[in-house]
């Protein structure tokens, strides 16, 4: 892992058969000459099997390479409908990765280490390193518009990230602020740190262990079997997932995700945003609502001995005007270490924000402190944080 934090800080079409390809060194997948084409996920790799006959996906699969190489979730608009970067852009991405690797441990070891390790090799050898974004549908790489209802709740939401918001109680903070959950499917996307993922398997089950806030125990249906979901009134932060195999692909359907919004003052009816703003280039504030109709379909396919193509389609017709789909690459790294994410034990920020907000407003009312300027320091959260340095027009 590159870094870890122990306390909370408020801070991814089928191709025509006649198309030609550009071969990449040591890469099973090839890049279409038409850079707007998204080929189907390769299925020519055959993984080993467990002792009970399921495909063996066990291992440690951190997704740190995606944020480290600046592949953003939402596509920079300057790429247009391009799924892939050009050769020249790829060379820039390789050079940036090389510089990052050269900085690894230049400032010390452990928590003081700088740079990355092994990023240049991944950018050179993984076809996914030539992607323009994680979001692949809609075709322009942009999230669908929110519905009028979804947009109103999003704008009315409250969290530790919303500019000019006062803090009076815990219902002014989102679930991530409170060290409860990053939400789903937000928890499956890369973060600023703690991007470890582990897969465990046993007969009838797959467990996905996340380094930060959340683990998933997923029953797997036998051939010809259909597993039921929970009753509608039963919800969980990571939802209710049931899986089955389609060929060599693990398919996971998830419903019953905690529904609600960030506008209500009823803490029992507050949901987590399906997208966390600490994932590169997603909507800010963590206030996107989630309806009881929200569901996901995930597909995990091993595309090589050390790579999993992860695809998720999210559909919530009450919040988004259309479904959206993201693809990520999980890269095996057996020596990647997990450390305890001791978030809640050290999360003094919620109490401190409430105390200081009340004291500040009391001082203004008493005339001992002038009213604060319109920019209270959180306006910066409305601006895009992460950029792709090889995108056209980016300096």
Note whether residue 51 is domain-resident. yes
For residue 217, count other CB atoms closer than 10 A to its CB.
13
User: What is the count of structural domains for the chain?
Assistant: 1
Would you state the structure tokens that stand for residue 93, as one six-digit string? 């991405």
Closest CA to 40 of 249, 243, 197, 199: 249
Confirm whether 395 is domain-assigned: no
pTM over 0.85: yes
- pLDDT < 70 stretches in the chain: 1-28, 107-112, 372-375, 395
- CA 128/CA 134 separation, integer angstroms: 9
Which helix or strand (DSSP H or E) is residue 97 part of? helix 87-102
Residue of 49, 50, 125 whose CA lies nearest to 307: 125
Residue 183, domain member (yes or no):
yes
Per-residue model confidence (pLDDT) at position 30: 86
Residue 32 phi, psi (nearest 5):
-70, 150
Cα gap 283→272, rounded to integer Å: 14
- Pick the closest to residue 113 from 121, 122, 104 (CA basis): 104
Q: Check if the beta carbon of residue 296 is closer than 8 Å to that of residue 314.
A: yes
Distances in Å between the alpha carbon of 306 and those of 44, 108, 294, 351? Answer: 14, 29, 32, 44
CB 158 within 8 A of CB 287: yes
- Residue 21 has a pLDDT of 35
Domain residues for 142? Answer: 21-344
Q: In the prediction, which pLDDT does 28 show?
A: 56
Rounded to whole angstroms, the Cα distance separating 28 from 46 reads 12
Q: What is the C-alpha separation between 189 and 296, in angstroms, rounded? A: 13
Residue 355 lies in a domain: no
Residue with tokens 């407003």: 361
Residue 18: predicted pLDDT = 30
Q: Is residue 14 part of a domain?
A: no
The residue assigned the tokens 């029992």 is 268
Q: What is the CA radius of gyration of the chain?
A: 22
pLDDT value at position 395?
A: 61
Nearest to 59 by CA among 48, 70, 51, 67: 48
Give pLDDT, residue 336: 92
Q: Which residues of 198-207 are buried (b: 16+ CB within 10 A; e: fewer)?
A: bbebeeeebe
In a domain, 2, yes or no: no
Pairing of strands 240-246, 249-255: antiparallel
d(CA 367, CA 375) in angstroms, rounded, equals: 20
* pLDDT at residue 373, as a whole number: 63
| pLDDT value, residue 375 | 58
What is the per-residue pLDDT across 361-384, written as a single tens digit (0 to 9) for each? 899 899 888 876 655 777 888 888
Domain assignment present for residue 122? The answer is: yes
Dist CA 239 CA 115 (whole Å): 35
Taking the C-alpha atoms of residue 306 and residue 222, their distance in angstroms, rounded to an integer, is: 26
pLDDT at 111: 60
Q: Is 376 part of any domain? A: no
Q: CA-CA distance, 34 to 19, in Å (whole number)? A: 8
**For residue 185, cis peptide bond before it (omega within 30 degrees of 0):** yes
């Amino acid at each position: 892992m590159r870094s870890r934090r122990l306390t909370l800080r408020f801070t991814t079409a089928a191709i025509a058969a006649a198309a030609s390809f550009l071969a990449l060194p040591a890469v099973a997948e090839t890049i279409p000459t038409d850079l707007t084409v998204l080929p189907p996920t390769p299925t020519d790799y055959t993984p080993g099997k467990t002792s009970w006959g399921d495909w063996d996906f066990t291992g440690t699969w951190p997704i740190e390479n995606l944020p480290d190489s600046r592949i953003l979730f939402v596509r920079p608009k300057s790429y247009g409908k391009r799924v892939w970067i050009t050769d020249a852009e790829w060379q820039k991405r390789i050079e940036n990765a090389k510089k990052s690797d050269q900085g690894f441990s230049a400032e010390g070891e452990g928590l003081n280490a700088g740079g990355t390790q092994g990023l240049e090799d991944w950018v050179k050898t993984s076809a996914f390193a030539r992607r323009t974004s994680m979001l692949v549908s809609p075709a322009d790489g942009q999230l669908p518009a929110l519905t009028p209802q979804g947009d109103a709740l999003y704008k009315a939401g409250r969290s530790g990230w919303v500019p000019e918001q006062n803090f009076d109680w815990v219902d002014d903070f989102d679930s991530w602020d409170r060290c409860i959950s990053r939400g789903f499917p937000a928890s499956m996307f890369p973060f600023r740190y703690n991007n470890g993922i582990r897969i465990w398997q046993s007969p009838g089950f797959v467990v996905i262990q996340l380094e930060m806030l959340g683990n998933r125990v997923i029953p797997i249906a036998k051939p010809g079997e259909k597993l039921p979901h929970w009753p509608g009134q039963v919800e969980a932060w990571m939802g209710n997932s049931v899986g089955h195999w389609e060929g060599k692909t693990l398919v996971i359907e998830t419903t019953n995700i905690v529904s609600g919004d960030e506008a209500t003052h009823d803490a029992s009816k507050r949901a987590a945003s399906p997208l966390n703003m600490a994932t590169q280039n997603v909507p800010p504030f963590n206030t996107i609502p989630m309806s009881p109709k929200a569901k996901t379909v995930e597909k995990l396919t091993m595309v090589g001995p050390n790579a999993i193509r992860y695809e998720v389609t999210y559909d919530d017709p009450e919040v988004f005007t259309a479904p959206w789909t993201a693809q990520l690459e999980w890269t095996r790294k057996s020596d990647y270490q997990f450390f305890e994410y001791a978030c809640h034990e050290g999360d003094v920020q919620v109490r401190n924000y409430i105390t200081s907000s009340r004291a500040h407003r009391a001082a203004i009312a008493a005339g001992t402190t002038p009213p604060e300027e319109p920019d209270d320091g959180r306006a910066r959260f409305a601006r895009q944080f992460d950029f792709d340095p090889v995108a056209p027009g980016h300096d």
